[in-house]
Structure 1
Amino acid sequence: MSLALLFGAAGSHPASWLHRGSRLAPPTDLAAYVSTARTAERGLFDLFFIADTPAARTENLHVWSRFPLFMNVLEPVTLLTAVAGATSRIGLGGTVSTSFSEPYNVARQFASLDHLSGGRAAWNVVTSANDYAARNFGHAKLAPHAERYRRAGEFVDVVRRLWDSWDDGAFVLDRDRGLYFDPAAQHAVHHDGAFFKVDGALNIARPPQGHPVIIAAGASDTGQDLAARTAEVVFSSNPSIEAARDFTQGLKARMARFGRAPSEMKVLAGLPIVLAETDAEAADDYARLQELVHPDVGRYRLGMDLETDLSDLPLDEPIPEDRIPKSANFHKGFFDDILRLIRDGNPTLREVYLCYERGRKTITGGPNRIADVMEDWFTSGAADGFMLQFHIMPRGLDLFVERVVPELQRRGLMRSAYAGATLRDHLGLRRPSRGERNP
């Protein structure tokens, strides 16, 4: 199975930073990232991953001060470049939005990261999902969902063409002939599309992986089409094995429409974990985390993904039907998950926010229980691996590497050593030839 780690300094739960067992360090502390990446590398993880949005929250700061999501974070490519120098094998993935960037800049950044890391870079393609980001770039609000995905599709196409703007081995550095590069090896991009105009070539050699690995996480029909056409790693968020298996099979079935084989994609299921020495200790830790969620945070976090204001509603009454929007413009998968919770037994607002976890449900347990859950999901075809999110860091990751990884290896579910040097090697993805599938 393939394993990725979603970094969180204290953990991935909204109250992780309040738990006495977690690390309380500023997210600008490079040492925390390096230490975490090295531990994951020792555990033979495929990928160390940084989520991001290009915005701070500027409203309702009384809530965000208790749940500091993206309020003090490092820019991902800069950060991953620093982590690259402190690691040697683990893949390095980061989020950069197609809604607020330009293809040339992104192509150059990830090509640079791929060179500096020896072929370990991955770009998480997102269209962004909040208006805070839109306002930072001259827009009152995000463009409509469909338009953002059309832009993203063109964006990825241009980036891949820019990565191919030189042949492999174009920079020959031949002193005898006085030739630094082969002039015939350049293939300038001449693109004039609906969203972008690019006329030129990257001023950097073709990346070691050919193309850095493309990651996506779209749950909507439009998002799945983009992933089926372009992505090599997809993060999924489903509450059950059955739903996850249906998603994985459906997404891979779409790939044939774009001339791709299912083997060209790895689907990694999000897996939030509270891990302790025993099942009882883990359950106690999770109960404590839930107790630490401030009501303002629970209500606002739910309203953020439901795309409506719930701040005036009583906590111990159901959410009125007339307060629920008809459709989602930000995260369709999260929106639909909340609807399922609201309509399952008429729960109170408090009960909904305590159950809502943006897709997957937290798994609590000791090492053997966690290994059992992962084996069930993997062997049933629900996922090709996992995006692990530990609610208490660094303790959860440390225990996973010390106890769960050896158990997965004993069961024949995980590698015992890295077989190659690049992220594509780890994932079993072939290196694309120049010009392959480019429009």
Structure 2
Amino acid sequence: MNEPKRELHLNLFIQGIGHHEAAWRHPDTNPADMMDIGYYQRLAQQAEAAKFDAVFIADALAVNANIEFGPFNNFFEPLTLLAAVAAVTTHIGVIGTASTTYGEPYDIARRFASLDRVSRSRAGWNIVTSSNEHAAQNFGHDTHLQHSRRYARATEFLEVAMALWDSWEDGAIVADRVAGRFVDRARVHAIDHMGENFRVRGPLDFPRPPQGYPVLVQAGSSHDGREFASRFAEAIYTAQNTLLDAQAFYADVKIRMLNYGRTPDQLCILPGLAPIIGRTTSEAKERQQELNEYIVPQYGLHMLSKNMNIDLFSYPLDGPLPELPPVEEINGGKSRFQVYVDMAKRGNLTIRQLLHAIAFGRGHDTFAGTPAEIADHMEEWFTGGACDGFNLLAPNLPADFIAFVELVLPELRRRGLFRTEYSGSTLRDHFGLQRPANQFSRPAVPA
């Protein structure tokens, strides 16, 4: 029997009014949209009409120093926003970010169980340990936890969350009106967790999510991040900007999964892609240059200084990067630090050139070309062992997303690389994932 043809997974990453850092200055965008829930709902509806797997919302938990020069994130809390999105859609997944460093397992498990129920089995959790060091002061801490400790906490956090989701077996609510019995108490379990970071009795005060667990998504690419993803993640958002780097990451994580008794088909790897579309290659390159003309250098310098752990304001924009600290000294996003360093070294870039290179996607793959050239690029990565699909980072929203849907998607479909209809109704269906077994369920007794 022939296996179904492998197809791309595509998520729309909604970042305010576009992923280009100066999108808010461009005449094609409207900064007021960032505070309009209808704008996000319309984007999700457009992505659903295009049969995308999911929309994704990130989170930061702190205001960055560069807010004077541009918006740094969505203003809405992700799960509140996604509940509103779920109310006006029927198939597309809704993936939101929540931090294991500045949250509690009981609260996060309860909120995602609610979102999965509200969305009718379409929720996903982007699990982050938080790279923004300023968040610490917003949650009663003087300093950010060390990188390895954040991942140790994240591991215990997720173990607790999964136990809480499992604490209600399927069928626990019997609602027997005649007998006056609402719940089968034998199917609701305390988890009695006593760990290094958390003490949680349980059970959760909400029945098991319809999907069992929300789809578990992870975004770290450091050594600790890869190990965490190999053990738990069902999708990874990652930042690679060369085919060779993406192939190496893909192979490494898929092999690591075997150490945890998992098979490669249980994980979708989705690098970010910022496409710049033109009718000709030269038109796309001109558009790339035009968008970069709106850049306010101070915005990128603040971000780079934070990521590089060094003040870049005292160095000439048209000079090289100064000597940087080793990656071991970085306590924010280690993998993003390495991406920027590699980009600068590979292209022998000045500080200004690096700012321009990362303005579209903060180190994610940026590609300018015709619809056919963009489709070629995506197909090369997809068939070349570099990804299972892409997290789409439209430079300007909604215009660049609409252009992608109208110009690139038909080319991908002509090649048989992307669906024309949904084959299921849940996010697990879209990603080809099974519903996880409940750790508390008793095996059936043979008749």
TM-score by length of structure 1 reads 0.94
Check 1:345–1:205 CA distance in 2 against 1; reply closer, same or farther (3 A cut). closer
Residue 17, structure 1, aligned to residue 24, structure 2: yes
> Which residue does 1:271 correspond to in 2?
273
| 1:375 corresponds to which of 373, 379, 382 | 379
Figure out how many residues of one structure are paired with residues of the other and give that number.
432
Q: Does 1:425 align with 2:429?
A: yes
Native 8 Å contact 2:17 2:33 kept in 1? no
1:194 corresponds to which letter in structure 2?
E
Counterparts of 1:322 and 1:188, CA distance in 2: 49
* SS state at 2:192 partner: strand
Question: Could you say if the C-alpha distance between residues 173 and 345 of structure 1 is closer, same or farther in structure 2, counting changes exceeding 3 Å?
Answer: closer
Q: 2:445: which partner in 1?
A: none
> Distance between the aligned counterparts of 1:45 and 1:237, measured in 2?
20
Q: 1:327 to 1:187 in 2, by over 3 A?
A: same
Task: Name the SS of the counterpart of 1:273 in structure 2.
Answer: strand
Given candidates 180, 191, 194, the residue that maps to 1:192 is 194
Q: Is 1:411 the equivalent of 2:424? A: no
Contact 2:238 2:271 in 1 (8 A): yes
Aligned to 1:395: 399
Q: How does 1:261-340 map to 2 (within 5 A)?
A: 261-321=263-323, 327-340=329-342
Judged with a 3 Å threshold, the aligned counterparts in structure 2 of structure 1 residues 145 and 325 are, in CA distance, closer, same or farther, namely closer
Give matches, 1:47-86, under 5 Å. 47-57=54-64, 60=65, 63-70=66-73, 73-86=75-88
Q: Which amino acid aligns with 2:105?
A: P
| Displacement after TM superposition at 1:275 (Å) | 2.3
SS of 1:25's partner is: helix
Which residue, out of 110, 116, 119, partners 2:118? 116
Summarize the Cα distance change of 1:324–1:154 in structure 2 as closer, same or farther, 3 Å threshold.
Answer: closer
Q: What per-residue deviation string (whole Å, max 9, x for no partner) do you get for residues 191-245 of structure 1? A: 0000000001111111110111000011111111011111000012111111101
Q: Distance in 2 between matches of 1:419 and 1:253?
A: 29
Change in CA separation of 1:315 and 1:436 when aligned onto 2, cut-off 3 Å: farther
Q: Deviations over 1:375-428 (max 9, x none)?
A: 111111100000000002111111222232222122111111111110000100
Residues 240, 360 of structure 1: 8 Å contact kept? no
Give secondary structure in 2 for the equivalent of 1:189. coil
Task: Report the AA paired with residue 111 of structure 1.
Answer: A
CA deviation digits over 1:256-292, x for unaligned, max 9? 1111111110000110122244433332221111111
CA contact 1:158–1:191 (8 Å) conserved in 2: yes
Say if 2:309 and 2:325, in contact at 8 Å, map to a contact too. no
Q: CA deviation at 1:316?
A: 2.0
Pick which of 385-394 and 340-349 moved more: 340-349
Q: Distance in 1 between matches of 2:279 and 2:56?
A: 26
Distance 1:115 1:261, change over 3 A: same
> How many Å apart are 1:77 and its aligned residue?
0.7
> Which position in structure 1 is the counterpart of 2:99?
97
Identity %: 43
Given that residues 234 and 265 in structure 1 are in contact (C-alpha distance below 8 angstroms), is that contact kept between their aligned partners in structure 2?
yes
Give the Cα–Cα distance (whole angstroms) in 1 for the partners of residues 247 and 347 of structure 2: 25
CA distance in 2, matches of 1:276, 1:23: 22
Q: Which residue of the partner structure matches residue 42 of structure 1?
A: 49
**Native 8 Å contact 1:189 1:201 kept in 2:** yes
Please, which moves more after superposition, 277-286 or 108-117?
277-286
Following superposition, the deviation at residue 313 of structure 1 comes to 1.5
Query: 121, 128, 131: which is aligned to 1:129?
Result: 131
The residue aligned with 1:242 is: 244
Are 2:169 and 2:440, in contact at CA under 8 Å, matched by a contact in 1? no
8 Å CA contact 2:168, 2:187 repeated in 1: yes
Is there any run of 5+ residues in structure 1 with no aligned partner, and where? none
Q: Distance in 1 between matches of 2:58 and 2:219?
A: 12
Instruction: Tell me the TM-score normalized by structure 2.
Output: 0.93
On the 8 A contact 1:274/1:392 being kept in 2, the answer is: no
What is the CA–CA distance in structure 1 between the aligned matches of 2:238 and 2:89, rounded to whole Å?
27
Instruction: Give 2:444's aligned residue.
Output: none
Amino acid at match of 1:4: N
- Residues 23-61 of structure 1: per-residue CA shift (max 9 Å, x gap): 33242210110010000001101010000011223xx4x
Whichever residue aligns with residue 137 of structure 1, its letter is: F
**Distance (Å, rounded) in 2 between the aligned partners of 1:322 and 1:28:** 38
AA aligned to 1:45 is F
**Aligned counterpart, 1:212:** 214
Q: Which amino acid aligns with 1:64?
A: I
CA contact (8 A) 1:5 1:49 kept: yes
Q: Which amino acid aligns with 1:89?
A: H
> CA RMSD for the aligned pairs?
1.8
Q: Which moved more, 1:305-314 or 1:350-359?
A: 350-359
Displacement of 1:346 in angstroms is 4.8
Per mean C-alpha deviation after superposition, the further-off stretch among 355-364 and 136-145 is 355-364
